[in-house]
C-alpha cells in the first residue's frame, strides 16, 4: 500500500492496534502495524505522532507516561470508549470502501 493510501487508513490501523494490544507507546504501535501486516505497511514516525496527538485531542485515545522495557520514559496510549465507537465506525466505513472498489474492479 502506498504511503498516501495508508494516510487515510492510519486512524483505523492505530485504533485497531490499541484494541488488539492494549497500552502501547508510539513506536510499539508502529512495530505492531508493520508485523501484523507482514511488513506490507510501514508507518513513519513523522506520521504516527501527529496522528496520536490528533486522536488524543479527539478523545479516541488516552495516554500516560511510564517506563519502557528498556527503562526509558515513554508516553503509552490506550483506547477509550469513544475510541472503540470510532473504531467500529471506521471498520464499517472501510468495509464499504473495499466493497465499492471490488465492484469497480469487476465492472466490465
pLDDT of amino acid 4: 41
Residue 8 pLDDT = 63
d(CA 20, CA 23): 9
pTM to 2 decimals?
0.87
| Secondary-structure class of domain 3-106 per CATH | mainly alpha
d(CA 38, CA 17): 14
The tens digit of pLDDT for each residue in 50-101 reads 999 999 999 999 999 999 989 999 999 999 999 999 999 999 999 998 999 9
Decide if 45 contacts 74 (C-beta within 8 A): no
Amino acid at each position: 500500500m502506498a504511503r498516501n493510501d495508508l494516510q487515510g487508513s492510519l486512524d483505523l490501523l492505530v485504533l485497531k492496534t490499541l484494541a488488539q494490544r492494549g497500552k502501547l507507546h508510539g513506536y510499539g504501535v508502529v512495530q505492531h502495524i508493520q508485523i501484523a501486516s507482514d511488513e506490507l505497511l510501514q508507518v513513519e514516525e513523522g506520521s504516527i505522532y501527529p496522528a496520536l496527538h490528533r486522536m488524543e485531542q479527539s478523545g479516541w485515545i488516552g495516554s500516560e507516561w511510564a517506563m519502557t522495557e528498556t527503562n526509558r520514559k515513554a508516553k503509552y496510549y490506550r483506547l477509550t470508549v469513544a475510541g472503540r465507537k470510532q473504531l467500529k465506525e471506521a471498520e464499517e466505513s472501510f468495509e464499504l470502501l473495499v466493497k465499492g472498489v471490488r465492484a469497480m474492479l469487476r465492472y466490465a
